[in-house]
Amino acid sequence: RKEVEQDPGPFNVPEGATVAFNCTYSNSASQSFFWYRQDCRKEPKLLMSVYSSGNEDGRFTAQLNRASQYISLLIRDSKLSDSATYLCVVGLNTGNQFYFGTGTSLTVIP
Amino acid sequence: DAGVTQSPTHLIKTRGQQVTLRCSPISGHKSVSWYQQVLGQGPQFIFQYYEKEERGRGNFPDRFSARQFPNYSSELNVNALLLGDSALYLCASSPWDVSQPQHFGDGTRLSIL
């Protein structure tokens, strides 16, 4: 079983739409959670950390549900520039490892 | 401030050769991690180094090795290259441990012929 699972998509949404991505993780001892964005043939860039209480950064909202072991990312009022692959990342102190999901592809259509 | 820098940007090798990739972390960051990313997949963890010691290792064969220097820069070595080693190799740095997000370099694109 993979440590982190994501729906690869693709998600094709019109400008202005709201879109949500989910990610599940298998290890209940996971300690840190992040969403990264990766543009085609570029390096991943940190979008936001995910906290137990949930957190928001402009049009982006991240939630963590430890009981169900899933993380979500909500993007409101989608822009063309939001088109990218969104990677869910989980950090595990044991072995100091970060585990990445396969990424969810988003295309925002004019 | 400079971000994470990696060299070279691109590299072409043949099967059986050896390769060394280099990474300089963000100033003040003491932890460096290496990842392999093949097309269509998320990055796969290879190693993490902190204070010149290996602190984490992913599920990669012994052909992969790395080290970290006193200035916190790092090298990833891969011996006896296979076609399947063709990938984007990413280096990431962070101040300390998994509780803090990592920042990635542009990567080295390695092609094996």
User: Residue B104: its chain A contacts at CB < 8 A?
Assistant: 43-45
Residues A66-81: tens digit of each pLDDT: 999 999 999 999 999 9
Residue B13 confidence (pLDDT) above 80 = yes
Residue contact B35–A103, C-beta within 8 A? no
User: Best residue in A35, A43, A94, A97 to probe B by mutation, most B CBs within 10 Å?
Assistant: A43
User: Residue A31: its chain B contacts at CB < 8 A?
Assistant: 98-99
Res B56: pLDDT: 86
Residues A15-55: tens digit of each pLDDT: 999 999 999 999 998 889 999 999 998 999 999 999 888 89
**Spatial CB neighbours of B74, under 8 Å, sequence gap ≥ 6:** B22, B23, B25, B32, B34, B49, B66, B67, B68, B91
Residue contact B102–A42, C-beta within 8 A? no
Look-up of token digits 């440590």: A3
Res B55: pLDDT: 87
Residues B28-54: tens digit of each pLDDT: 999 999 999 998 889 999 999 988 899
- The CA distances from residue A15 to A9, A81, B68, in Å, are 17, 10, 45
* Cross-strand pairs, A20: A74
Residues B66-94: tens digit of each pLDDT: 999 999 999 999 999 999 999 999 999 99
The values of phi and psi at residue A82, to 5°, are -80, -10
Res A86: pLDDT: 97
B41 to chain A: closest CA residue: A102
How far off is chain B from A40, nearest CA to CA, in Å? 10
- Residue A84, amino acid: A
Look-up of token digits 């990696």: B6
Confidence of residue A92 (pLDDT cuts 50, 70, 90): confident
Residue B2 confidence (pLDDT) above 90 = no
Q: Return mean pLDDT, chain B.
A: 93
